[in-house]
Amino acid sequence: MNTKTLIPRNARLAGRGTSLDPANRFEKASRDSFDDGWETLAEDAPPPPTILIRDATRSILSRNISPDIGFDRGLNPYRGCEHGCIYCYARPTHAYLGFSAGLDFETKLIFKPEAAALLERELSRKSYVPSPIVVGSNTDPYQPVERQLKLTRAVLEVLDRFNHPVSIITKSAGVLRDTDILQRMAARHLARVHISITTLDPRLARAMEPRAASPTRRLDAVAGLTAAGIPVGVLAAPMIPGLNDAELERILEAAARAGARSAHAILLRLPHELGALFEDWLNRTMPDRAAHILSLIRQTRDGALNDAKFGSRFKGTGPYASLLTARFRRAAAQLGLSDAPSPLDCTAFARPHQRSGPAAQLSLF
């Protein structure tokens, strides 16, 4: 049974996306808070601290078989994400660790201190066949804790030494700290970055993504990476019907001005516990619009809040979703934004000792 300290259901926690900790869907028992009449639940709960938990995993690459995704392997130095984005599709994955998709996801962060060493071991296998690795395929590799732990940077150093292609997904301007490595790799067609921009409205961004970089800082990141010769794409994601989808064209235009070369738009996904979390957030933050937004979401998901089927889960179905797709295609074409990211070179891959000649081979013995 979950024995954590209970937070009042309607509490507003500064800097957190949600105050809810829904029951882990794999557990039989759960606990919830309620007012027993003695006013034992404070209206303003103390902000919960961020807790770092060491991951003892012995593997580092995750494999993907989804036909909706254009890559077959990902790497995530962190599990859970302190950005606290209320819409994050990765929240339900925290249940596999015995935690909740709610507050646990943004306060109990699993970090992989051996990420770089495990990656080097994997790339050194004779059977390994190179293909672009997506860093941040599940949770952000540049969330705040990366400033101290530098696990993503260590991973990039390994990929740089092995001439291995990498694609990064982030909504953080922290990626600029690794411009030196990414610039070297991009010059060899080994690196590209995708910056997620959900809104240009700083107030909406702070409500949806409480600890993520501001929209302005993300556009600065696009410009900074572009100036360094690093290919950048923008992810207008997620598009939430009735909430931020009216900004689609403005997001793409701002990203193109900053130097983005490619673009993608992804419809909001609400798998498992995420539907209830998002609905609670809507009712708390914009009660006058919540019912309308939820209705529009259901119109794109055949009456449900989520659709997990391959082929439609990223784009949705119905007239509203079709119109959103048409708007994206038209805006991207007008702005010269490609739907294909910059190509990466897999032919340059080589293990360091193989590039260094016989002397390096002798040094192993």
Is residue 348 assigned to a domain?
no
List the CATH number of the domain containing 88: 3.80.30.30
What does the pLDDT read at residue 313?
79
What does the pLDDT read at residue 191?
98
Contact predicate 228/183, CB 8 Å: yes
pTM: 0.88
pLDDT at 181 over 70: yes
pLDDT at 60 over 50: yes
What does the pLDDT read at residue 66?
72
Is residue 12 assigned to a domain?
no
| Structural domain for 117, as ranges | 51-339
Domain count, the chain: 1
pLDDT at 16 over 70: yes
Is residue 39 assigned to a domain?
no
pLDDT at 323 over 80: yes
State residue 265 phi and psi, 5-degree precision.
-125, 135
Q: Residue 31: CB partners within 8 Å, gap ≥ 6?
A: 1, 2, 3, 6
Is residue 87 assigned to a domain?
yes
Structure confidence at residue 36 as a pLDDT band (50, 70, 90): low
What does the pLDDT read at residue 27?
74
Is residue 30 assigned to a domain?
no
Is residue 363 assigned to a domain?
no
Is residue 99 assigned to a domain?
yes
pLDDT at 358 over 50: no
Min mean pLDDT across 6-10, 129-133, 148-152, 267-271 is at 6-10
Is residue 1 assigned to a domain?
no
Per-residue model confidence as pLDDT tens digits over 18-30: 888 887 777 765 5
